[in-house]
Amino acid sequence: MRLFIALLSVPPLISAKLCSLDIPRPQPCDIDQWHQERRTTLGPDAALNIRCWDRGRSVTGETRWFYLGDRRCWIPLQALGMECDVGVPHC
């Protein structure tokens, strides 16, 4: 049953948008957009492969999170470079 639930939380395969981080420090990339469980940490110069966005826990009042397809993790809107969220589909 756990495997089935885990598969439901993986966004569908769709085209990705390439972008970059907008913060000068390493950014945690979480297993999901609700829990603070880290999958990896992204360096300040990391290239991002943004697949889609969905709602998640609030980070400084914003609840949009973005799924990085190649890294299989989520980052909050505040970590993205300018205009990176434009045109990204909902998961």
Segment 77-91, tens digit of pLDDT: 988 877 889 999 999
pTM over 0.75: yes
What span, in angstroms and rounded, lies between the C-alpha atoms of 56 and 65?
6
User: Looking at residue 26, what is its pLDDT?
Assistant: 92
CB 91 within 8 A of CB 11: yes
pLDDT digits (tens, 9 = 90+) for 32-73: 999 999 999 999 888 899 999 999 999 889 999 999 999 999
pLDDT band at 5 (very low <50, low <70, confident <90, very high): very low
